[in-house]
Amino acid sequence: MTLLSFSQSSPVEWQALSADDTDVSALDANAHVIVPFGAVDALFSKVKAVTTWVGVVLEPADDVVALETLLGDIEIILLTFPKFSDGRAYSQARILRDRFGYRGEIRAVGDILVDQVGFMVRCGFDSMVLAPGVSDGAVARAVERYSLVYQSASDERLPVHKLRSEGQGGGDALASLGDGI
Amino acid sequence: MYQYDEFDHRFVNERVEDFRDQVTRRLAGELTEDQFKPLRLMNGLYLQLHAYMLRVAIPYGTLSSAQLRMLASIARRYDKGYGHFTTRQNIQYNWIKLQDAPDILADLASVEMHAIQTSGNCIRNITTDQFAGAAADEVKDPRPYAELIRQWSSLHPEFSFLPRKFKIAVTAAKQDRAAIRLHDIGLKLVESDAGETGFEVFVGGGMGRTPMIGQRIRDFIPERELLSYLEAILRVYNRFGRRDNKYKARIKILVHALGADEFARQVEEEWPHVREAGVDAAWSDFARIAAFFGAPDLADETDATGEFDRHIAGNTDFSRWVERNTHAHRSPGHVSLTISLKPHDGIAGDATAEQMELVADLSDEASLSEIRVTHEQNLVLPHVAKGKLYDIWSRLVGAGLATGNIGLLTDMISCPGMDYCALATARSIPIQQAISQRYDDINRLHDIGDLKIKISGCINACGHHHAGHIGILGVDRRGVENYQLMLGGSGAEDAALAQVTGPGFGADEIVDAVETVIQTYLGSRVDNESFLETYRRVGLAPFKEALYDAA
């Protein structure tokens, strides 16, 4: 497994709880704990009383909107791609960033193609867990492939229409972009 | 028409290099076919029955003469000398070698074209009225909005892995020539009482296995908020559209399951959040786009039609061709001319490299170097002075392009069917050709009048059979091709789904069945009723009776 990180990056090691883990008294005060979305109501406040570092893992069908009031207390949100072709997590990430202003880490887990990493970064993901064996070159190509974007998203990149309308002549704006992103 | 600036050029060039790298890795064995498949599909490259097929985007069906010449050159250099214009206003090449694909994309990029989002579960090519910017019945040219949507949807990071493909059509005319109510989103440009431009929004139309007519979810969305509203629709669909069954994954299924009112409510709830995120910003760029689509500067040619009138009076072939193949233009003395790609022995939508080059030449001489592709698989010269029609017609005759059958029975839509397509369950092209040969008498065609026959070779309905006045669906029944017949569909402003007549017909029976339907219509029509008008008056019963009871 390869952790690819673009901004903030939490540790890879943590304790993943399940809905059955109702007794949290054994948790260490410095433990890193991940709670599944389905157990948030039952466990989140209990775990938070023991350790400050708590994350939540969501499946694509989980309603990210339900986390709104807890977001300030969540260190990391793991969004799951059961198959690379299941794109629901892109919308989950954008709702977290754009609608709720979530500032913690968002990490992609599951079946991820390296060619999707650029889309993920644009939707507000900080990091992603890739299958082993992906070369650094492939990652770099996937991320740096497109120097321009046509629409605003959850990242800081200025879309082409803004570059144009801010009076930057095509040449100047392109020059300022340099060779990379 | 729209011209790329440095940004647009850079973007498509990066796309070409991206794909060149992916093809190189595939050919070197670094990528398996399974790994390569999602990548090639993002560039419109399909693996068909016999070869790779490349589908090239023709945004909203508008081409320059230079672009059409490049399409001809690609057909000659990398294919077998022809291309196939599709119902999505695109072009497909059916005999492509994988190693050539990057060079083809580079050739396309040199004339501001690409194959981005012509396949995959993403927002596909935006389609519109083939007479946009020319039609007399139009409120305003819809193409600047189509270009705005094209740019917004290009490699959209949130919507590149939707539950299923997503098709948006825009129209701005009274007559709906873009079939907007058979699209995932249909946009009708309207002006408010205050003179503000906006769109009526239809959602959830489509064909395929479960045909549905799109439902209106908003009467008016101001033009400046169009993109955020679309983004809200797409987000609701991306989150809640079904992913467990690809045949139930289109937005129409979600809209149907929720009900249009509830779907609209969810969109309205999402919309303010999207709007605040600034999707609609930089409207000034829209003015830049719209400037490329300014009304053409055409002289008043009303008085220059004397020779034209003499030819009309003296040449029946010519006058009939003009009657069927021209459409009212807003500039006096001009028409939009449709060039039929449905010759009586040909394959619907196919054009040879030489034919494409002739059309490109004619557009330079007589149509401001502009060409359109129609969703009915024909080509259009949008801005032609009537005085030039006779010369154009004479030259088209020599190239086999002067069939005067637009809107008539032989102007059929047909999918490629089992002759090319890996999904097809029956052949479509031979059925289309057999019908075409049966009805090769132009007098009879004119007598039958307006009639749209649409043929698909499987239930995915690429041949739009649900929207045919007469629809034909080829299926496989225990290893034998069988053709279902359906009647009364329409993709126009009076959108309706065709009704199945009854048991299907064999490949050797279906043309006779069509003839029975025609005979029944001719026997039932009153005054100058069209087929569809007669059908709507008398219903399915007399046709059923004629088809099944006589036997």
Instruction: Point out the residue among A99, A118, A147 whose CB comes nearest to the CB of B10.
Output: A147
pLDDT band at A1 (very low <50, low <70, confident <90, very high): low
Does residue B253 have a pLDDT over 60? Answer: yes
Cβ–Cβ pairs < 8 A, chains A and B? 120
Question: B320, exposed or middle or buried, with CB in 10 Å at 0-12, 13-18, 19+?
Answer: middle
Whether chain B has a CB inside 8 Å of the CB on A116: the answer is: yes
pLDDT band at B20 (very low <50, low <70, confident <90, very high): very high
Chain length of chain B: 551
The answer to whether the CB of B383 falls within 8 A of the CB of B362 is no
d(CA B214, CA B125): 18
The answer to whether the CB of A20 falls within 8 A of the CB of A146 is no
Give residue B55's pLDDT. Answer: 96
Mean pLDDT, rounded, for B160-187: 96
pLDDT band at B464 (very low <50, low <70, confident <90, very high): very high
Does residue B406 have a pLDDT over 70? Answer: yes
Q: Specify the pTM.
A: 0.93
Question: B517, exposed or middle or buried, with CB in 10 Å at 0-12, 13-18, 19+?
Answer: buried
pLDDT band at B550 (very low <50, low <70, confident <90, very high): low
Give residue A4's pLDDT. Answer: 83
Sign of CA dihedral A92, A97, A102, A108: positive
- Cβ distance of A86 and B11 shorter than 8 Å: no
Tokens of B128: 């519109």
pLDDT band at B182 (very low <50, low <70, confident <90, very high): very high
- Cβ distance of B5 and A173 shorter than 8 Å: no
Does residue A65 have a pLDDT over 50? Answer: yes
The Cβ of residue A65 has, within 10 Å, a number of other Cβ atoms equal to 13
Which pLDDT tens digit goes with each residue over B321-332?
Answer: 999 999 999 998
- Cβ distance of B284 and A95 shorter than 8 Å: no
Whether chain B has a CB inside 8 Å of the CB on A46: the answer is: no
Whether chain A has a CB inside 8 Å of the CB on B4: the answer is: no
d(CA B279, CA A119): 16
User: pLDDT over 90 for what percent of chain B?
Assistant: 87
The Cβ of residue B494 has, within 10 Å, a number of other Cβ atoms equal to 11
Does residue A181 have a pLDDT over 80? Answer: no
Mean pLDDT check: name the lowest of A19-28, A77-86, B165-174.
A19-28
Mean pLDDT, rounded, for B282-302: 87
Which pLDDT tens digit goes with each residue over B517-536?
Answer: 999 999 999 999 999 999 99
pLDDT band at B173 (very low <50, low <70, confident <90, very high): very high
Mean pLDDT, rounded, for B328-338: 95
Give residue B281's pLDDT. Answer: 67
pLDDT band at B551 (very low <50, low <70, confident <90, very high): low
- Cβ distance of A91 and B158 shorter than 8 Å: yes
Does residue A178 have a pLDDT over 60? Answer: no
d(CA B327, CA B322): 9
User: To probe the interface with B, which of A152, A157, A163, A181 has the most B CB atoms within 10 Å?
Assistant: A152
Whether chain A has a CB inside 8 Å of the CB on B279: the answer is: yes
Helices within B439-501 (DSSP H only) = 442-448
Give residue A12's pLDDT. Answer: 66
Mean pLDDT, rounded, for B281-288: 83
Whether chain A has a CB inside 8 Å of the CB on B277: the answer is: yes
- Nearest Cα of chain B lies from the Cα of A17 at a distance, in angstroms, of 26
Q: Where are the beta strands (DSSP E) in B376-448?
A: 379-385, 413-414
Mean pLDDT, rounded, for B123-143: 95
- Nearest Cα of chain A lies from the Cα of B187 at a distance, in angstroms, of 20
Average pLDDT, chain B: 94
d(CA B443, CA B447): 6
Q: Report which of residues A17 and B395 the model is more confident about.
A: B395
Mean pLDDT, rounded, for B366-371: 97
pLDDT band at A170 (very low <50, low <70, confident <90, very high): very low
Whether chain A has a CB inside 8 Å of the CB on B304: the answer is: no
CA distances in angstroms from B164 to B226, B240, B380, B383, listed in the order given:
22, 12, 31, 37
Does residue B512 have a pLDDT over 60? Answer: yes
Whether chain A has a CB inside 8 Å of the CB on B265: the answer is: no
Does residue A180 have a pLDDT over 60? Answer: no
Q: Which residues contact B338 (CB under 8 A, 6 or more apart)?
A: B130, B325, B326, B327, B374, B378, B379, B380, B406
Does residue B303 have a pLDDT over 80? Answer: no
Which pLDDT tens digit goes with each residue over A2-53?
Answer: 788 887 767 767 888 888 887 888 888 888 999 999 999 999 999 999 998 9
- Cβ distance of A94 and B158 shorter than 8 Å: yes
